[in-house]
Amino acid sequence: MREQEFWSEEAKQKLRAWFCWLDDNRGDRARLRRAETPDDVVLTEPFFNFLRQMPESWARPWNLPIAAMVAAVLAHVKKDEDKDKKDKDKKSFAAQLASPKPGTDRPCMSEMRFQQLQKSRTPDEFFRRLIRAVKLADSHVNIISLADSIRRWMNEYRYGISLKPLDRLAVRWASDYYTSK
Tell me 122's DSSP state.
S
17-72: per-residue pLDDT in tens? Answer: 999 999 999 999 999 999 999 999 999 999 999 999 999 999 999 999 999 999 99
CATH of the domain at 127: 1.10.520.40
- Pick the residue with more confidence: 85 or 72? 72
Q: Domain count of the chain? A: 1
In which domain, by residue range, is 139 found?
A: 3-179
Distance in angstroms (rounded) separating the CA atoms of residues 87 and 167:
21
Reported as half-sphere exposure (CB side, CA atoms, 13 A), residue 98 has a value of 16
Q: What is the rounded radius of gyration, in angstroms, for the C-alpha atoms of the chain?
A: 15
Q: What percent of the chain has pLDDT over 70?
A: 93
Percent with pLDDT over 90 in the chain: 81
Say if CB 143 and CB 149 are below 8 A apart.
no
- 65-69, 72-76, 177-181: least confidently modelled range: 177-181
Nearest-angstrom CA–CA distance, 153 and 159: 10
